[in-house]
Amino acid sequence: MWDKGDYYIVGLYEEMVDDIYPTHFTPIIAERKYGLYRRWNYIVKKPYEIELKSPVSSFKENHEDLFPVKTMHYVDPIKLNCRTQVIGLGRDRILASDSKAKLVLNVATSVLTRWSYSGYLDRAMITLRNIVE
């Protein structure tokens, strides 16, 4: 399925609040074809892999038009593949990568600047464990 189209993260299903970082997020995945976007259903398998299931909507001109009510957190489209993990390091800092080393390094670095936030270190340790599993 992945080789038959270009797929992007176009948003996140979670509420972007301050006391949850760092953590994995559930991305909104859309296929892009001819400049149009179509949202997809998927499941996440272990070890980490995204398996696309089926398209959810028809193609739309704008990725924000994929939902009847605009209540999600939208991001500029980020290209992804089946191994891409999405981690929020802060309200405006979303990291999407298929490189476990890059993810670990960025989460560890974020701890150096945010260790004083309540529970940040504990959540970082859980996130790091989830990255490498």
Of residues 7, 133, 15, the one with CA closest to residue 73: 15
104-115: average pLDDT: 91
Verify cis geometry, omega within 30 degrees of 0, for the bond prior to 68. no
Note the pLDDT of residue 26. 87
Of residues 69, 70, 87, the one with CA closest to residue 22: 87
Q: Where are the alpha helices (DSSP H) in the chain?
A: 100-114, 120-132
Condensed to tens digits (0 to 9), the pLDDT of residues 44-70 reads 988 788 999 999 989 999 888 887 766
Condensed to tens digits (0 to 9), the pLDDT of residues 59-101 reads 999 888 887 766 667 788 899 999 999 998 887 788 999 999 9
- Phi, psi for residue 112 in degrees, rounded to 5: -60, -30
State pTM to two decimals. 0.83
Count of domains in the chain?
1
4-16: average pLDDT: 82
Of residues 108, 112, 107, the one with CA closest to residue 87: 107
Report how far residue 71's alpha carbon sits from residue 68's, in angstroms, rounded to the nearest whole number.
9
- Residue 31: which pLDDT band, with cuts at 50, 70 and 90? very high
Q: Please state which of the ranges 32-46, 62-76, 102-116, 119-133 shows the lowest mean pLDDT.
A: 62-76
Residue type, 72: M
Domain that holds residue 30: 2-132
